[in-house]
Chain A
Amino acid sequence: MNFKLQKIVPQLVTVLAVILVFGFFSYNAQVNMENRGIDFGYGFLSQESSFDVQFSLIEYDGSHSYFRAYLVGLLNTILVSVIGIIFATILGVIVGVARLSPNYLINKFAAFYVEFFRNIPLLLQIFFWYFAALRALPLPQDADAMFGVFFLTIKGFYVPAFVWENFNVFFYSIVAAIIAIVVIRIHARKVQENEGKQLPVLWISIGLIFILPLLSFVIGGVSLSFEIPKLKQLATTSFIYEGGVSLPPELIALTLSLALYTATFIAECVRAGIQGVGKGQKEAAASIGLNPNQVLKLVVMPQALRIIIPPTTNQYLNLTKNSSLAAAIAYPDLVLVFAGTALMQTGKAIEIVSITMLTYLSLSISISILMNWYNKRIAIKEK
């Protein structure tokens, strides 16, 4: 009885303290806002926003609501985070492996890269890539075409737009190819377990992913043409490109700096993971006749991943949160659009900041859950 009480009382006191602190702050805020004649409420979300945004993944202009502006910001944040995570992971793995290379030049270059980029504040790097790029890039009229169709200019990176006909047929053909590959992989594993034969799964997969969509062009009536950006004159010395797709320089600079910065940390995670696998493991794998590729694929990587994944999750979370520095270089992310312009136009500081905080929290937790699920999948399964 006494023992039980000892266990419960401190917990009750903690819960009570937390409730009291939160209660005090919300009561305090409520009283102060009342005194200053500030209304509290989320009704503004349905009001017309009346400001435009430079870059949006969904249809948006100032006649839409503040909630739609919030979605625009959120999607832009997700976009830059996803692209950033992909590039940071690819670069991080390459650099991490390069740091273990026996080649002196590659090894030292990778080490230099890691030490250089992880020791300079990210905001400075963002400014550097943005303003250095702006100063270095040509004006639209002076830009040389890359492969005749890409134009990298100070006003953005212009790429040809795809003009599809019967796009759905093409899309289904890709889905069909993916399903076929999954089925073949399951079948191949069964064959190997039962008969010990190895099927050339990789080649079959590559073949399928090319041949099926190709067939959709030949038989399915799919056709693809390109809309190439064309130079348009606005004034004597002022030009832009029309047609095609334009990626704003803000997006490019932000993705580049986030990826370059985060890749250094991922590279260190990868190096730690590979070095964490005992030498004996590799020697044992080689001694049972596995070739170097198989050693890496079947013995080293599965063990290394267990060490790599948890700290890499942290880096993914950091990258997502760091993307809020976008506001400094005019990339319209959640902080710039919603916690910036919308907050200023409505004056609803507490409401907007709380929504923004909750959004980042949900984003981070989603990444966490996804990575934890993956981590569990590759963890040692005790039998």
Chain B
Amino acid sequence: MFKYLKQLTSLVAMVAVLFTFTTETMAAKKSKTLKNTQKKGFVRCGVSQGLPGFSNADAAGNWTGIDVDVCRAVAAAVLGDANKVKFTPLSAKERFTALTSGEIDILSRNTTWTLSRDADIGLTFVGVNFYDGQGFMVRKSSGITSTSQFKDGISACTNIGTTTELNMRDFFNSKGISYEPVAFEKADEVVAAYDAGRCDTYTTDKSGLAAQRTKMTNPDDHIVLPETVSKEPLGPVVRQGDSVWEDIVRWSLNAMIEAEEYGITSANADSMKTSDNPAVKRLVGAEGELGAAFGLDNEWSLRIIKQVGNYGESYKRNIADTGILPDRGPNELWTKGGILYVPPAR
């Protein structure tokens, strides 16, 4: 019975393809996600349940953060309006299922790029918008200033369903320290339990520690230890199997980073159209036909820069000015001593 069903569905699919062939552009035809997004009129974006600086909603329900800005950039490129985004807050546990099942089209939720996630579960990572690493937070009063002072029996609070749980084991095993992992489903409960004194240390990505520290009763009573125990490149993720959509998200992020490199900001983007530098002119759509490859117009990147800003503006607005991590560290451009380096948009 299934054999015939398969034949029938492929027949229906073939007919459907023949019909769409005549009406859609090449790229839009290839990308179901792009077509659906344009039809719906908004980008479906999965974000965290509240991580200041990355994705956080204010009392009025407005989302801000550098992860949020990636989705806004895609909306500006594809739909012409950075506000046409529907945000879906997801727990660490739900995030990949929401993406693979088609509930969202971009997952921009401080997600670590690893081999098994990229290759195993039907996902594709498109880039890195924040270079992070796992760290530890302790109470100042404990007198601990380095992870080398950790002793047998230490209890560590963290989230489930993250790379943190695995790194924590690797770290404590390599040091030969026995520890008690206390893993919660939601970040707010981790903070509450650690704040109450349930755990001696709280471990997660350092950016997360810096952000969550602001939620403690007395943020000044806690310090983040200097050691970084893992590599955590965080970036947006899309479903496997739609390479045009994948390219759109990748280059929306890359455009923001390259715009900073060439000094194009939301304020001066329009005036840059007459720049002498061809690379700048390409990015603001005054030269070349870059958008055509995705089935977009030529001003896609100009809209991103004008509506969302370049990466530096996004970082300053969301992470530096909010006091989370004023120092950009590795997330500085390669030309300024950081490791942000993207392929050229040409």
A27 touches B5 (CB 8 A): yes
Residues in B whose Cβ lies below 8 Å from that of A35: 241
A16-54 vs B, CB cutoff 8 Å, 1 = contact: the mask equals 000000010001000101011111000000000011111
Whether B142 contacts A238 by the Cβ 8 Å rule is yes
Establish whether residues B198 and A134, one from each chain, have CB atoms under 8 Å apart when the complex forms: yes
Are B100 and A38 touching (Cβ within 8 A)? yes
| Cross-chain contact B97 with A235 (CB below 8 angstroms) | no
**Given the complex of chains A and B, what is the CA–CA distance between A238 and B2 in angstroms?**
63
**B200 with A38: CB separation less than 8 A:** no
Tell me if B61 is interfacial: C-beta within 8 Å of chain A. Answer: no
Q: Are A37 and B240 in contact (CB under 8 A)?
A: yes
Separation of A332 and B183 alpha carbons in the complex (Å): 8
B198 near A344 with CB under 8 A, answer no
A285 at the interface (CB under 8 A from B): no
State A39–B179 Cα separation when bound (angstroms): 35
B197-A139 in contact (CB<8A): yes
Q: How large is the interface on B (under 10, 10 to 19, 20 to 34, 35 or more residues)?
A: 35 or more
**A166 within 8 Å of B (CB atoms):** no
Query: Assuming the A-B contacts A50-B166, A235-B142, A345-B166, are A135 and B193 also in contact, with contact meaning beta carbons closer than 8 angstroms in the complex?
Result: no
CA distance A62 to B173 in the complex (A): 10
Does chain B have a CB within 8 A of A100? no
Q: Secondary structure at chain A's binding surface: helix, strand, loop or mixed?
A: mixed
Q: Is the interface of B mostly helix, strand, loop or mixed?
A: mixed
Binding-face segment, A111-119, A189-197, A290-298, A322-330: A322-330
Q: Can you show 22 pairs from A to B with CB atoms below 8 A apart?
A: A27-B5, A35-B241, A36-B100, A54-B182, A131-B196, A134-B198, A135-B196, A234-B153, A234-B200, A235-B200, A236-B143, A236-B144, A238-B139, A238-B200, A240-B155, A328-B185, A328-B186, A329-B189, A330-B184, A336-B160, A336-B185, A347-B117
Across the interface, name the chain A residue whose C-beta is closest to B182.
A330
Shortest distance between the CB of A58 and any CB in chain B (Å): 17
Question: What is the CB-to-nearest-CB distance from B116 to chain A, in angstroms, rounded to a whole number?
Answer: 8
Q: Which of A31, A54, A234 contacts B181 (CB 8 A)?
A: A54
For the complex of A and B, the 3 pairs showing the least CB-CB separation, nearest first, are: A347-B121, A344-B161, A236-B143
Provide the residues of chain A in CB contact with B215, threshold 8 Å: none
- Contact of A343 with B by CB under 8 A: yes
Q: Is A213 an interface residue (CB 8 A)?
A: no
- The complex places the Cα of A346 from the Cα of B116 at a distance, in Å, of 8
Tell me how far the C-beta of B149 lies from the nearest C-beta in chain A, rounded to whole angstroms. 6
Q: Which residues of B contact A234 (CB under 8 A)?
A: 142, 150-151, 153-154, 200
Is A54 touching B197 in the complex (CB atoms < 8 A)?
no
B141 within 8 A of A: yes
Tell me the A330-370 residues at the B interface (CB within 8 Å): 330, 332, 336, 340-341, 343-347, 349
Any A CB within 8 A of the CB of B77 = no
Instruction: Say if the beta carbon of A68 comes within 8 Å of chain B.
Output: no
A237 contacts B by Cβ under 8 Å: yes
Q: Is the CB of B17 closer than 8 A to any CB of chain A?
A: no
Nearest-Cβ distance from residue A232 to partner chain B, whole angstroms? 7
Considering only residues 298-342 of chain A, those with a C-beta below 8 Å from chain B are: 327-330, 332, 336, 340-341
Q: Is B162 an interface residue (CB 8 A)?
A: yes
A52-B181 contact, Cβ under 8 Å, with A131-B192, A235-B151, A329-B189: yes
Residues of B contacting A242 with CB < 8 Å?
A: 153
| CB atoms of A51 and B155 under 8 A apart | no
Q: Are A237 and B141 in contact (CB under 8 A)?
A: yes
- The answer for the CA separation of A345 and B93 in the assembled complex, in Å, is 10
CA distance A27 to B93 in the complex (A): 25
- In the complex, A210→B162 CA distance in Å? 52
Cβ contact of B196, chosen from A134, A236, A349, cutoff 8 A: A134
Shortest CB-to-CB span from A41 to chain B, Å, is 12
A330 and B93 contacting across the interface, CB-CB below 8 Å: no
Whether, in the assembled complex, A268 has its beta carbon less than 8 Å from a beta carbon of chain B, the answer is no
Q: Which of A131, A155, A234 has the most CB of B within 10 A?
A: A234
In the assembled complex, the CB of B233 is this many whole angstroms from the nearest CB of chain A, namely 18
Q: Which of A31, A134, A336, A349 contacts B193 (CB 8 A)?
A: A134
**Contact of B92 with A by CB under 8 A:** yes
Using A236-B143, A238-B200 as known contacts, say yes or no to A343 and B151 having CB atoms under 8 A apart.
no
Contacts of A349 in B (CB 8 A): 96-97
In the complex, A188 has a CB within 8 A of chain B = no
CB < 8 Å: which of B160, B189, B240 contacts A341? B160
Q: In the complex, what distance in Å separates the CA atom of A315 from the CA atom of B286?
A: 71
B-side contacts of A135, CB under 8 Å: 196
Distance A328 CA – B185 CA, assembled complex (angstroms): 6
Residues of B157-216 contacting chain A, CB below 8 A:
157, 160-162, 165-166, 168-169, 173, 179-186, 189, 192-193, 196-198, 200
Are the CB atoms of A343 and B93 closer together than 8 Å? Answer: yes
Q: Answer yes or no: B220 CB below 8 A from chain A CBs.
A: no
Measured in the bound complex, the distance between the Cα atoms of B169 and A347 in whole Å is: 20
- In the complex, which of the residues B5, B93, B198, B239 contacts A340, with contact meaning CB atoms closer than 8 Å? B93
Say yes or no: is A249 at the interface (Cβ < 8 Å to chain B).
yes
Whether B120 sits at the interface, judged by CB under 8 Å, is: yes
CA distance A344 to B183 in the complex (A): 13
New contact pairs (6) apart from A330-B189, A345-B165, CB-CB < 8 Å = A36-B122, A39-B120, A234-B154, A238-B200, A327-B160, A340-B185
Residues from chain B with a CB closer than 8 A to the CB of A33 are 122
